[in-house]
């Protein structure tokens, strides 16, 4: 089995909408000028880098934005141009919400269980319903279609429906999920949640908690995971209130290694003790205390939103955002981890600033999918990274993307048209078939 990072290609409407309360960067950068072209190229450069380290790499496509489907569902009728003009005039906030390129953060696209961990021996994928925020809730339909186009062989893959219902089953996908494994033992799945739909709990006071315990439990059931090796943990309410809207803002783990901040989980000690019980003495963690690395710095510089890349010799490299290199406390922490008694041997810094300004670091930009060779060969689209694909994608970005966008530009009907033209071409490059709404109605 090998892990593939499915990175989200940044879409042509990438902009700073200030749409995500509780996500500090999104709020702070509202209205700034974005550069969709640079954002997409930074993403492809990251994929190339990870691929170059020998890790599995693949790509997921952007979603059509503005979402005319969402605007029509809210009562705007007529031609595409008419829908956009009316929404822009009468409900600009809705147009902003319908235009977000947030699908780029594919850690939120779905939760995935590899076939080795599921009782029916298939890979299970549950697209996230992203109920907590409107601009993200509209991702689930397209994500489901894209996942079904890629994981198309029913003998090997199951792509479930996103969880039903409203806020009680709010699910943010893999950003709150970590899979651990050590040789000779079955894997362990850690699911984190911010609030409970039912029952008493002390939650955050300032910012919304997005993921519910009930949603996490439903995903674990759907994926046929061994209940004995599944752990549910509450995110720290103080952490959420400081801007850790997803677990992956303050914690990242892989294999037998866990790197986390003390504000990641409510019962931090309990989580670590349980993981050690299940994984044995080879499990090791590196913990940042508030003293060593204040939550404010962790949220601002995102050292825990690093990718951990496991090399063939069992060592791990940390791929951190450049912003962590520039924050002395975050950098000192990462260097301490490299020097410590653990499998980490290096830290490398990546420039994903366009995404970071909306609160998305390296780990947010990728969905981890572990596949066997047979499963990889059964993928139904051309999504595995190769230098040839990267070159085509870069040429495609240069051809279609603007290098400057502010929220007011979202009213421009030409932008919607550009996006459709670009995405239509992309489905051909990736061999995806007609996964988008506009390809089905036109």
Q: Choose the stretch contacting ligand SUG; rule: CB under 6 A; options: 120-128, 245-253, 306-314, 324-332.
A: 245-253
Strand 257-261: give its sheet, edge to edge.
Answer: 251-254, 257-261, 284-288
- CA atoms within a 13 Å half-sphere pointing along the CA-CB vector of 374: 10
> Applying CB under 6 A, does 66 fall inside the site for ligand SUG?
no
Among 5, 181, 230, 358, binds ligand SUG (CB under 6 A): 358
Whose CA is closest to 413, among 80, 72, 33? 80
Size of the site for ligand SUG (CB under 6 A): 22
Q: What is the sign of the dihedral through the CA atoms of 383, 384, 389 and 393?
A: positive
Among 337, 364, 369, 426, binds ligand SUG (CB under 6 A): 364
Please classify residue 410 by burial: count the beta carbons closer than 10 Å to its beta carbon, then call 0-12 exposed, 13-18 middle and 19+ buried. buried
| 174-193 footprint of ligand SUG as x/- string (CB under 6 A) | -x------------------
Q: Is 319 helix (H, G, I), strand (E, B) or coil?
A: strand
Which of 139, 172, 214, 375 is catalytic? The answer is 172
* Nearest-angstrom CA–CA distance, 254 and 98: 34
* Nearest-angstrom CA–CA distance, 384 and 60: 10
Measured from the CB atom, the residue of 88 and 427 that comes closer to ligand SUG is 88
Smallest gap from residue 285 Cβ to ligand SUG (A):
20
Site residues (CB under 6 A) for ligand SUG, limited to 371-430: none
Whose CA is closest to 198, among 172, 177, 227, 167? 167
> Applying CB under 6 A, does 360 fall inside the site for ligand SUG?
yes
Measured from the CB atom, the residue of 19 and 352 that comes closer to ligand SUG is 19
Task: Establish whether 246 is a catalytic residue.
Answer: yes
> Applying CB under 6 A, does 105 fall inside the site for ligand SUG?
yes
Among 117, 171, 214, 248, binds ligand SUG (CB under 6 A): 248
- Sequence-distant (≥ 6) Cβ neighbours of residue 281 within 8 angstroms: none
Task: Establish whether 177 is a catalytic residue.
Answer: no
The single-letter DSSP state of residue 34 is B
Among 350, 359, 427, 436, binds ligand SUG (CB under 6 A): 359
- CA atoms within a 13 Å half-sphere pointing along the CA-CB vector of 432: 26
What are the structure tokens assigned to 239, written together? 């952490």
Task: Establish whether 51 is a catalytic residue.
Answer: no
> Applying CB under 6 A, does 107 fall inside the site for ligand SUG?
yes
Q: Choose the stretch contacting ligand SUG; rule: CB under 6 A; options: 195-203, 282-290, 354-362, 398-406.
A: 354-362
| 116-155 footprint of ligand SUG as x/- string (CB under 6 A) | --------------------x-------------------
- Sequence-distant (≥ 6) Cβ neighbours of residue 316 within 8 angstroms: 254, 255, 257, 308, 309, 310, 342, 343, 344, 345
Site residues (CB under 6 A) for ligand SUG, limited to 4-23: 16-20, 23
Catalytic residue list = 172, 246, 364
Residues that bind ligand SUG (CB under 6 A): 16-20, 23, 26, 100, 102, 105, 107-108, 136, 175, 245-246, 248-249, 358-360, 364
């Amino acid at each position: 089995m090998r892990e593939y990072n499915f990175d989200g290609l940044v879409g042509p409407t990438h902009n700073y909408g200030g749409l995500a309360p509780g996500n500090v960067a999104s709020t702070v950068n509202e209205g700034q000028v974005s550069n969709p072209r640079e954002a997409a190229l930074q993403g492809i450069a990251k994929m190339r880098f990870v691929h170059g380290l020998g890790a599995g790499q693949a790509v997921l496509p952007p979603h059509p934005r503005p979402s005319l489907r969402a605007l029509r569902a809210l009562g705007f009728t007529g031609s595409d141009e008419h829908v956009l003009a009316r929404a822009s005039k009468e409900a600009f906030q809705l147009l902003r919400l319908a235009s977000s390129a947030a699908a780029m953060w594919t850690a939120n696209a779905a939760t995935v269980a590899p076939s080795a961990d599921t009782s029916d021996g298939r890979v299970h994928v549950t697209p996230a319903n992203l109920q907590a925020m409107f601009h993200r809730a509209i991702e689930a339909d397209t994500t489901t279609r894209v996942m079904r186009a890629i994981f198309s062989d029913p003998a090997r893959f199951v792509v479930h429906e996103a969880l039903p219902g409203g806020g009680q089953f709010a699910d943010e996908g893999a950003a709150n999920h970590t899979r651990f494994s050590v040789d000779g033992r079955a894997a362990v799945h850690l699911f984190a949640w911010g609030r409970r739909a039912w029952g008493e709990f002390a939650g955050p006071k300032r910012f919304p908690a997005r993921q519910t315990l009930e949603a996490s439990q439903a995903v674990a059931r759907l994926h046929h995971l061994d209940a004995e090796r599944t752990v549910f943990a509450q995110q720290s309410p103080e952490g959420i209130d400081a801007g850790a809207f997803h677990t992956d803002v303050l914690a990242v783990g892989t294999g037998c290694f866990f790197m986390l901040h003390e504000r990641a989980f409510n019962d931090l000690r309990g989580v670590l003790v349980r993981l050690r019980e299940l994984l044995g003495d080879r499990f090791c963690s590196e913990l940042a205390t508030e003293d060593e690395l204040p939550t404010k710095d962790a949220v601002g510089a995102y050292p825990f939103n690093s990718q951990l890349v496991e090399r063939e010799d069992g060592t791990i490299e940390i791929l951190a955002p450049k912003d962590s290199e520039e924050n002395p406390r975050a950098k000192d922490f990462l260097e301490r981890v490299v020097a410590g008694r653990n499998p980490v041997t290096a830290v490398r810094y990546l420039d994903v600033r366009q995404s970071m300004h909306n609160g998305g670091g390296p780990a947010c930009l990728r969905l981890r999918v572990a596949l066997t060779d047979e499963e990889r060969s059964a993928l139904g689209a051309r999504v595995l990274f190769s230098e040839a694909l990267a070159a085509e994608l870069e040429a495609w970005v240069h051809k279609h993307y603007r290098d400057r966008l502010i929220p007011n530009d979202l009213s421009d009907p030409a932008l919607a048209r550009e996006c459709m033209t670009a995405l239509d071409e992309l489905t051909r490059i990736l061999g995806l078939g007609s996964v988008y709404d506009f390809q089905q109605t036109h």
